[in-house]
Chain A
Amino acid sequence: MREMTCELGQLTRCDGDACLIQGETCVATAVYGPTEVRMNKEILDKATVEVVYKSKVGLPGCAEKMFERIIRNTCETTILTTAHPRSGINIIIQEMQNSGSYLACCINSACLALLDAGVSLKFLVAAVTCLINKEGDIILDPNSKQEKDGKALLTFVFNNKDFNIVTVNTKGSYSSRQFKDCTSLCKTSSKQVFEFYKNLWKSC
């Protein structure tokens, strides 16, 4: 995996934030919450989680909406939403640099920002991307150049409770054998990500 570095608490107005750099990919995330929520979005027995994704250029389209939804649903699973009924938790993700394994970086940075904000979580999540290239080899944490020539791109999100799969998103075609290999490889690597989280907090 490429080297990971993270800076916490760079922003002053939000409740928690993280700027995560994975190789050349960089994402900044801010978390506001638990705060009040618009009447029509209020849920009686749990918190409303909202994710806003901002790309560097251009207006948000359908692709960004889908991206937002994957991140939102993942965060919703992580957060102990029943602890904050009728309130809102807002996560804002800003693209800084996209050089491969982008979705994974966004999810990891969202998880760190939630930790920084002190939002109660059920478990932590770690996202890992891997790529199947034309020769059928599996490359872990690919950069954008490798992604361009790849045959399939798979992103997995694991929790640190029992290392089960929280989120999967894949592109391109592959066999179920290859899927299995990628799962186990990413599962092993997710432990590295959790280790990184732990060291980061120790150093704070």
Chain B
Amino acid sequence: MTIFNFRTARPVEYYRKYLEQDVRPDGRDLGEFRRTVLNIGCVTTADGSALVKLGNTTVMCGIKAELCKPKTETPKCGFIVPNVELSPLCSPYFRSGPPGEQAQVMSQFMLEVVNHSKCVDLESLCITQGKLVWVLYCDLLCLDYDGNVTDACVLALLAALKNVCLPTISINEETENPETDLTKRVPLPISSQPVSSTYAIFDDNILFVDPTAEEENLATGIITIVTTDDKLCLVHKPGGSPLRPEQLTNCFDRSFDRSKEISRLIDETIHSIDR
């Protein structure tokens, strides 16, 4: 039986053979992410945009700002509305039509990341209290699905938010209508950096980071950890193989390292655009 056939017929066995040597079939260590490529500000029609490639996985985030009325309970808060789209364009697993369960769960996850990390102060989106606030529609398009879309989405969203420049709005006192000054644009203040890292559990006890689509299918569980600077912000393990607390602690350490890597990557990218 050739290697290729072995991989198709007995995928779990094939992975075990590699993992015995602490390496994965694509040559990565257990704690190694795929090459991450970031491109900021690639769509000029959007108010903020970013493209992330994590290995083959590709996600594009475009942010459009609109004006709207705030909720009466929170007259000073604007809105951030993330929406993840997993269309049949990115993988044959997805069907056209209304968003599937995974896309809905991803959208909710992104909303929780924004809310719990407090990366954008919603009050900074306020223009006139109780009357006019910004709503940021963050549309995340998956263009190529090769596993771990969560991490790619969180990075794309963060990079796109950092790219957002909102036009200044002044209220005409006579007509009480908002007037937009497109020439004076202000960058959106970002107060913290949420960074996500996803781990797959293989054979109930081996953990490896940044799973590909193939690895996700073989995994017996998935954990996603979102950190903001030196704090944990979200630990999400929906079922799957039970883990010992020490195993989780190891994941936290890796996640904090990743957080530093990502903030370096974003800084470098923004710097290279400025020049």
Contact = CB atoms under 8 A, between A and B. Distances in A.
Interface of A: 61-63, 65-66, 69-70, 72-77, 154, 157-159, 161-162, 164-176, 179-180, 183-184, 187
Nearest to B242: A164
B105 A175 contact: no
Nearest to A166: B242
Contacts of B235: 154, 168-170, 179
A169 B238 contact: yes
Given A158-B242, A179-B232, 5 more contacts: A62-B105, A62-B111, A73-B239, A165-B244, A168-B248
B236 A168 contact: yes
B175 interface: no
Chain B: interface size category: 20 to 34
B166 to A, nearest CB: 26
Contact of A167 (B107, B109, B116, B237): B237
B108 interface: yes
Given A169-B236, A172-B116, A66 B108 contact: yes
Interface of B: 101, 104-105, 107-109, 111-112, 116-118, 221, 223, 228, 230-245, 248-249, 252
A60 B116 CA distance: 22
Given A66-B104, A69-B105, A180-B249, A77 B241 contact: yes
30 contacts: A61-B104, A65-B101, A65-B105, A65-B108, A66-B108, A69-B238, A73-B238, A73-B239, A73-B240, A74-B238, A77-B221, A77-B239, A159-B242, A162-B242, A164-B242, A164-B243, A164-B244, A165-B237, A165-B244, A166-B237, A166-B239, A166-B240, A168-B235, A168-B248, A169-B235, A170-B232, A172-B116, A176-B249, A179-B248, A183-B245
Most chain A beta carbons < 10 A, residue from B108, B221, B234, B237: B237
B101 to A, nearest CB: 6
Contacts of A183: 245, 248
A175 B241 contact: no
B167 to A, nearest CB: 30
